[in-house]
Structure 1
């Protein structure tokens, strides 16, 4: 087994390889505006570090978000392209689940990432492998009572200490954590999400409703 995992749902552009037992190579860079520019070089780096060619990959794992439209689709389109070209399955995982898995927390906790517009994408977990609620998108002030007393991980938690006073690392998801979670799920015969984007809200860029029609003279 050799899993290639990618995620671009957060400002972290991240790729990793997992051999079924451990992460053999990983590359992450935080840059919210260069997902399309940075992802393929990251894949090249992990392949080179592992000393394998792309045709050694047996499955692709993609973080499906939630996340902003523009960044999120970069990772999913890349994953779909690799899957099609290699003839291997593409498995979707919630990006928040990857953060939860990486946290290593055992008791109830929250994962929150930055959704911009002064909102967070968030979910509540019973453990690193069990999601209770979400994912959802809300203003932090609107969920304060629902997350009170719980530790929280992710960039969204670090941004809003009033709502998440017990904010902790990791700040961003890592493809290594996604790949490790996928390996556990595959070994247990568990189901995956389809590799489709989880947006939770409409994209920022939209076609104007009342644009001027110009007719030829």
Structure 2
């Protein structure tokens, strides 16, 4: 197995290559405005560092979010394009699960990323890093009773540490391609079915047809 992992659901543009036993190479750059510009050069760097060509890759895993529309689509479209060109499977994985894998905590915990608009994307995990709840988007204040004192990792927990009072400042802040790849390899080895490579959106789109919109057709 040579599994290439991509994730652009957070401000981190991250790529990693995993051979089924270990991570061979990883790239991560944090820049919320340059996902499209940074991703393909990152893939080239990772493959060059590992000393392999793209056509040697046997599997792809891509973070499906939750995340902002534009950045998230960059990784998904790139993974789909590689998969179609190479004729290999493309797996999806919740981006919060990658952060949970990187956290490596031995107690139940929460992962929260910055959803902007004064909200967070978040989910609960057990002591083995397995997700217990569906990903959600909420205002931090609405979660205060649920997350107070609970160990928490991620940029959302750091940003709203008055609510996520158990935030682990030594934990992962942004996504890691290496963690995403490792989580995918573990799941595949256990025979688990991963997600389809489709975006996990938890909000309605900003652009909507006005409620009083009238269609004008020529007679």
* Shorter-chain TM-score above 0.5: yes
Q: 1:187 pairs with 180, 186, 189, which one?
A: 189
Q: Secondary structure at the match of 1:132?
A: coil
Structure 1: distance between partners of 2:129 and 2:80: 25
User: Does 1:173 find its partner at 2:181?
Assistant: no
* Structure 2 residues without counterparts, runs of 5 or longer: none
What is the TM-score of this pair, normalised by structure 2? 0.93
1:120-159 CA distance string (max 9 Å, x none): 0000111243111230000000011111221100000000
Q: Secondary structure at the match of 1:71?
A: helix
| 1:11 counterpart residue number | 11
| 2:104 counterpart residue number | 104
The within-5 A match list for 1:24-63 is: 24-63=24-63
Q: Secondary structure at the match of 1:40?
A: helix
What is the TM-score of this pair, normalised by structure 1? 0.94
Aligned length: 215
Structure 2: distance between partners of 1:197 and 1:128: 25
Aligned 8 A contact 1:112 1:153 in 2: yes
CA change 1:102–1:52 in 2 (3 A) is: same
Aligned-residue RMSD, C-alpha = 1.7
Task: Show structure 1 runs of 4+ deviating over 3 A.
Answer: 210-214
* Structure 1 residues without counterparts, runs of 5 or longer: none
